[in-house]
Structure 1
Amino acid sequence: MTITFLGTGTSQGVPVIACNCEVCTSNDPHDKRLRTSVFIEVDGKNIVIDSGPDFRFQMLRANVQHLDAILFTHEHKDHTAGLDDVRAFNYKQQEPMDVYAVERVQTALKREFAYVFENFKYPGIPQLNLHTITTEPFYIGSLKVIPIEVLHYKLPVLGFRIGDFTYITDAKTISDKEKEKIKGSKILVINALQKQTHISHFTFEEAVELAQELGIEKTYFTHISHRLGRHHDISQELRPGIELAYDALQLYL
């Protein structure tokens, strides 16, 4: 399995428009963060989790030549806004894109991309195969995917475990039942927004505590705000087995 971080920033990305803080003005490429997404190559399948506003550039930067499926964690625009750009894969692969989402997220996609689902199909619009998922395991071909339900304030959001890799974003709370699905993973990716208390995201310290509680071999933080601090500085504060993810970082399992 190869995992490529397409984006590791929060909903505004980093740098933030019109912000002159030390993170947003940093020259360190690790402090340049597109909206959160990940590309997974495993067992002959190429999968993206979330297609945010930067999806087009992310596909170009990672040189993705083939895409089998998109999994959606939830319906917020920083995770869905780039869906229109699957058209390029439709054209090259000559088939609809498989999209996996819960019914609530599908309803949002049908509202935000209404033209895709009209009875009259305008030439060149995205072609999608919607697959309804729940909190139960499902398969993409022979590949088993285990959804992990977390709460983003009061909004249910799905993380996903594929083999020994678990990816969770936009979480504030995770039940003991769902934590059991994570245990035994070799790599965990979890959101760590900032150091200050936040209503709908893990803080830096909360993410550290979760990583230690679950005893994962290697944990990477994503969905990072400019308020967390510069990548270099925060990296010095991390304990062994925990790292800040950054755009274009690749992991191998």
Structure 2
Amino acid sequence: INLLFYANALIQGILNKCLKIHMVHMLFVTHVLLFIAVITIVVLMIEEYRRTKDSELKIIMNAFGIMAVAGVLSLCMYWKLEIPFYGTIFEVGVLIFEQLLLTSIFVNLVEQAKTRSELEVYERLLKEDRMTGINNRTAFEEQLQDIEDHAQDYDNAALIFMDVDGLKNTNDLYGHNAGDELIISAALCIKNVFATYGKCYRIGGDEFCVLIFDSIENVDELLKQMDQEIIKYNRNNRYYLSIARGVSFLKDTEGKQKKISDWKYEADQDMYCNKKRRNINDRL
């Protein structure tokens, strides 16, 4: 159809230039082509609409239908009734056509915005731990993969593994509701201290971790702040909270970046050493 219109314009231009035929006398051909084009597109869209029931397509069909009617009316007014303002009818049809198309575009943009919002919510839910509201293991693994894939973008980082001490004993003695309370409280203490400096994750039942990308020189100070948060919690609650922790830095003392597996292993081993020291101190 596009090629027909281009050919029509070229031929009419040649006829006007060489044979001095006025363009208005060849307007009928253009109108016929336009009518055929609109009818063809409407028919194709009707078939598509029957198959998909797309609301946006329905609006576009109505737009083309109105334009087709306007085209037929202007043809009749010009060729049969010889009414001089036939062009106004067609222009009104084109105006309505454009307004309907703009409406279609607006509706489509609203739908896209709604879909994007829903996708963002679903993505957040997929990466959020439902019990504590912090990031879950999926988000943690994605972050580690990003660090591995874009190592050049990370100067250094600290990984802190944490584990709630004695959660099984709390569950056995007081029930799982008490254990859930400890998990939620542990997440709150961790988030209160580390959320400003990095990302907090719950990666297992009683296991948490934190990734810090800035101010890594303050890790020891931040751990002391977390201890203070835990002390405040234990003053006002019946279930005792204790959190073991282990720290590892992405780069070694020589500035060489570690493998992600080694980085995690070091933090994990440091945490279990911390847990053993805590158990020994508790027995003493």
The structure whose residues are more often helix, as a share, is: 2
Give the greater-gyration-radius structure (CA). 2
**Range into which the TM-score falls when normalised by the shorter chain:** under 0.3
State the TM-score, normalizing by the size of structure 1: 0.22
State the TM-score, normalizing by the size of structure 2: 0.21
The structure whose residues are more often strand, as a share, is: 1
